[in-house]
Every structure is written in C-alpha cells, then in structure tokens.
Chains A and B, each alone.
Chain A
Amino acid sequence: MSAIALPPSTQASIERPGSLVLLLRYLRRNKGLAIGLLILLALVAFTVIGLLTVNTKNAYPLSVALKKPPSWKYPFGTDFFGRDLLAAMVVGMWQTAFIGVLAGGLGTFIGVVLGFISAYFGGWIDGTIRTICQVLAPIPVLLIQVVIAGSLDKRDVTIVTMAMIVVLLAWMGPTLVIRAQVLTMKERQFVSVAKLSGVSDLGIIFKEILPCLLPFIAAAFVAQVFVAVFAAFYLAVLGLGPLREPLLGNIIWAAQSQGAIFNGWWWWPIIPSVGMILILGSLALINMGLDELANPRVRRTE
C-alpha cells in the first residue's frame, strides 16, 4: 500500500481548493461583481462603525449647530434643521438597507412562490397569474406608489410602511423571471427521471428544481433590492417618505425645499446623492455580475 501512496506534496496539490479560494478566483474573473461587493462592503462597514461610534440622536432636527459646512467636527456638515449629516447618513444608510432587504426579500419570496406555482402547475392558474403580471407591468409602478403613499396618514408613514408600499407592486418582475426559468427546468431530463421514479411534486420542487435556480433567485433578489431602494428613494424625494427620518431621499427633499444649492449649502443635497450613487452603483454591478454567474451565455466573449 505504501508503495502506491502518493508523495505528500502531490497529494496536497490534487486536493480541491477551499470554497473561499474558489470564490476569490471567480471574483478575479468577474471584476464587476468584485467591485460591486467591495463598495457594498465599504458601505456596510461605514454604517456599522457609524452606528457604534456616532451619536445617532444627532441625525434628528435641532441637535447640532445649523448650516455648518464640512469640517473636522462635522465631516459631512450640518443642515438647516440642525442635523449632523454624518449621523444622518449613518442612520439613513441603515434605514435604506432595511427597506431594501425587507422589501426586496418579500418581493423575491412572493415572486418565487408565484413563479413556481404558475410554471409547475400550468393551466388556468398559470394563465391567471401571467395575465395579472402582464396587466400590471405597463403601469408606472412609482406613480401608483405615489397614490398609496399620499393616501396614508402622515403619522402612518414609517420605514416599514415604505417597504410595504414598495412590495405591493414589486413582485411581478421576479414572478415572471422565476416562471420562465422553472418552465425550462421542467423539461430537463433529471426532472423527468425524478418524476418517473415516483418523487412527489413538492420533492421535485424543493430537491430537484430549487437548488438549480438558486443563482437566479439570488440575482432576482439583488434586482429587487435595487428596485426597492430606488422606489423608496423616489418617494422620499417627492416628500412622501417619513419626513422626520433621515432617509437619503428625505434629506434631498428637505434640502430641495429650502433651496440649499441656491443658498450655497451644497453639501446638504450632494452628500446623500453620493451615498445613493454608491448604493445603487454597487447593487447594479453585483446584479450584472450575478447575471453572468447564473447565465454563462452572457459571459464575455472577448
């Protein structure tokens, strides 16, 4: 036996590299995904460290000196209402992340469930779900959200209701994507084999199809988070957000209504804008990267 055993050095090189190493190697090829994840990580670090070190009370009106430009004491400056913009950005980032993950997660969940039901069972169920999605799709979702948010009592508008408003009209996209994927999956041979060997419907869905769809679900989730963050931002810019909270869109709305740039308080709207660019940019990059992962055909041909 010992004669056949390989020398230890070769054995090590044959060993499969750890999943972390594989991930890093993949990230080196998929640069967009890597950069997107890096920016997102930096934003998360900013928020977490900020929540631990900055006094979050300063994110609300009348807590610090008014209208101070960025300085050592207030790195992002302060606004007309006496909010420290650094604290406001920390809290706003956290709230944006909360809305994004809650609304994005719920939207994706509803989409996955409806998509599976629609594609797997077919028939009139599929027809109904598809028609509803198609009828709702051309309606400018944001404007309907304006109607919903506008009809709410101002006291009822909170971070959670914002997320719910966004979810109400944001599950059609993932439903159609997952439905299309399940439809192609259903025809594959491994599903037929499972069916012939007597696996139940639920067994096929959870054990055979779902694992194959994970990359698509991940991509749909990131896309939904993007949509949710974007929608909440637009609503807040229109003044329909929870006005007291320092959501990034709210800060811009407040700056805009006080004519901040006209008055030379440029940092007030610019800092939340840059924050929003970083959030949306990183999500867009990650989404494109995941698309490439889920859909090798999109992979670069150069």
Chain B
Amino acid sequence: MTLKFVIKRLVFLVLVIWAASTIVFFIPRLSSRNALRERFGELARTGGFSPGDMEKIIASMQQQFGLDRPLLEQYWQYLHNIVRLDFGYSLYRYPSTVSDLIAQSLPWTIGLLLVSTILSFLIGNLLGGISAWPRAPKWMRAVATPFILLTGVPPVIMAILLIFFIGFKLKWLPLGGAYSVGQVPNLSWGFALDMLRHQILPALSLIFGSVGGWVLSMRGMGITIQGEDYVNFAEHKGLTGGRIFRDYYMRNALLPQVTGFALALGTVVTSAIIVEGLFGLPGIGTMLNLAIRSNDFPTIYGIVLFITITVAVLMTIVEFLYPLLDPRVRQS
C-alpha cells in the first residue's frame, strides 16, 4: 500500500463528503418550503401564541440560524460546521442539537446493524460457496435455492411479513417496540432478555432480506474459481475436500465479496433504518420517521449527512483493509 494510494483515497473521501453536503445544502434552498414558517404556523394553530407575533419570532430565529446572511457565507459556515459534525438544532425538539439526537439513538442502530450484517454476510457467503462447490452433497447445495428466491424480497417487506406471521399469527415474538410496555429500562437480566426478544424480528428481517444477494454473488464467484489452476493443483496434491474448500476455494472467492460488501454498505444502512422505523425501535430510523412526520428539516438533513459520511468513511476503511487481505493487490 503506497502513500500515493492512501492520499488518493482520502482525497476521494473528502470529495464524496463535499458532494453530499453540497447537495443537501442547496436542494432545500431551491425549494419553496420554509421550515421555520411551517413549524411556527403549526405552533400558532395549536395555540402556542398569537399569530401576530409570528413574523417577529421568525425574523429573530432566522437571524439566530444565520439565514439572513448571503448564501455563500451560509454555505461556507455550513461546510465548516459539517467538518465538526455539527448539524445545527432540531426544530421539533428545539434546544437539543441534531448531533445530540443522533448520539442518543446511534447505539440501537449500530447494535442491530452489526449483528445482522455480519450474520447475513457469513451465512450468505457460506451458502453461496457451498451451492457452487461441485463436491458438496446435493441436499447441501439445494439449501441455497430458497435463499436465492429471497433476493426479490426487500428487508422492509420481509419485516412486514415477519411481523404478521411470527408476531401476530403465531405470537412468538413481540410486534414492535424496544421493550415490553410497562418495563422500565434497567440493568437486570430480565430486562436484557426482554430487549433481545424485541431485537430478533428486526434482525431477522434484515438478515433474510440481504442474505440472498450474498448467496447469488458468491455462487457466481465460486463457479468461476472452481476451474482455476490452483484448485486443480490442490486436488492433484491429494488434499482433502474440506481443506480445498476452506483454503483454496472459499478464501479466493471471498476477496471480491469484500469489495461488494463496501459497495452494498449504503443500501444495507438505508434498509436497516427503514426497518427500524417499522418496528419502532428508538434508533436513527425512528428518529428519521419522526422528523419526516413533523417537518423537522434540520434533523432530516443532519441524519442523511451523518449516514452518508459514515458510509463513505467505512468504504474507505474497507478499501484500506483490502490490500492486507489480498497479497496480489499489495504487490501491484
């Protein structure tokens, strides 16, 4: 891994973040909607204060948010804030900043994402590898087929189906929420178990919703690799089937899958967020749902930018790890 490669990737990362921030900055300013006016109009309707004072309040708020300054100055200030991960204030829960809200809900999302992504990557690649491995017993290869059919079922729909069949019909698991109604969050085993039970369906919908894609791409990889010379060589050396499968076949087929993983990150995170919203877990997805419903624009934009930056950074990290996994890339 040369220094030139590292610098190139870092410059690219900055470019991606800059592009996303710029889009998110200019699109709302092109639109005719005024977030402050809508929010205060809503408050005035529900009787917070007399509508006559509204214009004054809006003017003072605009000054406070810096919305009365020239556009380029605002843009510059905005980029400055993004670098410090400062996304401004939430309109709906005003004194809290968007970063505070994200920090509160982030642990839930990370937990769900980590478990489901790792499991679906492992299961999917193993099944895909087996399904293309000519020496595997027939029943083992057949296991992959139903998972391939699942590629047409996105995690969101999987979530609805699971809520209906497992939660509603069979009543095995709760329909939604982070913990049972009436429970107070505490550090007991009982509560932890209750919380875990509520995480199973969201995790399953994400796993089932994305495992098919891995099976499919790994199967394609496996088919190309089994004809390679080194696999033939290993066979003629008389190595056992398991050894060839593990060290010659899977190891090589997995490498491109890591790149695929980096590319899929954006979709994976987006799906997780929407599924979370469906189950009403207190993660980033539910916060985004709430923000959309209450026209809390700074929160929507903050969440979108935060996720974009995270995905871009993670992709860059995977790219840095890649040469460590594949000696061929390291040399060239």
Contacts and interface: CB of A to CB of B under 8 A. Distances in A.
Question: Is B truly associated with A?
Answer: yes
Nearest to A288: B216
A116 interface: no
B223 interface: yes
Nearest to A154: B33
B152 A139 contact: no
A280 B208 CA distance: 15
Contacts of B301: 147
A140 B270 contact: yes
A135 B160 CA distance: 34
Contact of A144 (B15, B20, B176, B216): B20
A147 B293 contact: no
Interface stretch (A13-21, A42-50, A91-99, A231-239): A231-239
B292 A146 contact: yes
Contacts of A252: 156, 160
B274 A270 contact: no
A150 interface: yes
A146 B33 contact: no
Given A234-B274, A261-B167, A146 B300 contact: yes
Interface in A256-282: 256, 261-262, 264, 266, 269-270, 273, 276-277, 280-282
Interface string B271-286: 0001001100000000
Contacts of B270: 140, 142-143, 234
Interface in B119-152: 149, 151-152
A144 B149 contact: no
A53 interface: no
Contacts of A147: 23-24, 27-28, 300-301, 304
B266 interface: yes
A140 B274 CA distance: 13
A138 interface: yes
Contact of A139 (B19, B163, B289): B19
Interface stretch (B98-106, B235-243, B308-316): B308-316
B32 interface: yes
Contact of B19 (A135, A239, A288): A135
Contacts of A177: none
Nearest to A230: B154
B269 interface: yes
A288 B20 CA distance: 31
B267 interface: yes
Interface residues of A, number: 45
B163 A285 contact: no
Contacts of B303: 143
A147 B292 CA distance: 10
Given A150-B297, A153-B33, A140 B164 contact: no
A237 B266 contact: no
A301 interface: yes
A138 B16 contact: yes
Contacts of B263: 137-138
Contacts of A240: 292
A33 B263 CA distance: 26
Contacts of A301: 223, 227
B31 interface: yes
Given A140-B267, A140-B307, A238-B277, A151 B160 contact: no
A270 B220 contact: no
A137 B20 CA distance: 11
A281 B164 CA distance: 20
Given A151-B31, A262-B175, A140 B308 contact: yes
B116 to A, nearest CB: 17
B33 A151 contact: yes
A139 B312 contact: yes
B307 A143 contact: yes
A252 B163 CA distance: 13
A51 interface: no
Contacts of B154: 230, 233, 276, 280
A270 B157 CA distance: 9
A125 interface: no
B292 A239 contact: yes
17 contacts: A135-B16, A138-B263, A140-B270, A140-B308, A141-B266, A143-B303, A146-B288, A147-B304, A151-B30, A152-B31, A234-B274, A238-B274, A270-B164, A276-B154, A282-B152, A284-B151, A301-B227
6 closest A-B pairs (Cβ-Cβ)? A281-B152, A140-B266, A151-B31, A143-B304, A151-B28, A284-B152
Given A138-B16, A142-B270, A266-B164, 19 more contacts: A137-B263, A139-B266, A142-B266, A144-B24, A146-B288, A146-B292, A147-B304, A151-B31, A151-B33, A152-B33, A233-B154, A262-B175, A264-B168, A270-B160, A276-B157, A281-B152, A284-B151, A288-B216, A301-B227
Interface of A: 134-144, 146-148, 150-153, 230, 233-234, 237-240, 252, 256, 261-262, 264, 266, 269-270, 273, 276-277, 280-285, 288, 298, 301
